[in-house]
Amino acid sequence: MAGTEAADTRDQVVVGGVDSHADTIHVAVVTDRGGHLADAQFPTIAAGYDAAIAFLRAHGSVAAVGVEGTSSYGSGFTHAAQQAGLAVVEVSRPDKAERRRIGKSDPIDAYAAARAVVSGRATSAPKDGTIAGIRALQTAARSAIKARTATLNQITHLLVTAPDAIRAKYTAVSVR
């Protein structure tokens, strides 16, 4: 009696999609034409990333992996996938109209990420450490501007009730 064996996937080209979160990533695998093959969830730890990469490769030759949030929740997986030799593509979140139409869940978002790569809608290189540095500088600059504004507002409000001599002396300073 002949057994039913799973189709040989070694020659099959597949594309992965990853919906990333703080504690988990959801990985979907599609054919090079966008047909759904499988999806699974993994923890956001080194062993989880390794298992996710093995899961992708178990379904065929991985052409690319689309990842949502390559510089935030998906950064750990992005780094692991690149170290494993996989091509990673930055995928934007689906627009609101598409989300309302097809729904929102981790598997849906992971499959959507994979299909975005297959269709060519997602072609951006993943963000790297340079982006994190720029983001840190922008955050520091924004904080400094807020602090300066708050200080000037405090001085202005204190001067309202200050004696005339002090108000005259420091009003010019608070207006600058």
Instruction: Place domain 13-127 in its CATH homologous superfamily.
Output: Ribonuclease H-like superfamily/Ribonuclease H (3.30.420.10)
What is 71-112 written as a DSSP string?
TTTTHHHHHHHHHTT--EEEEPPPPHHHHHHH---HHHHHHH
Place of tokens 């790297």: 128
How confident is the model over 123-146, as pLDDT tens digits? Answer: 666 766 677 778 788 989 999 999
Q: Where in the chain are the domains? A: 13-127, 130-175
pLDDT at res. 6: 43
- Per-residue pLDDT at 144: 92
Q: What is the pLDDT of residues 162-175, one digit of tens each?
A: 888 888 887 766 55
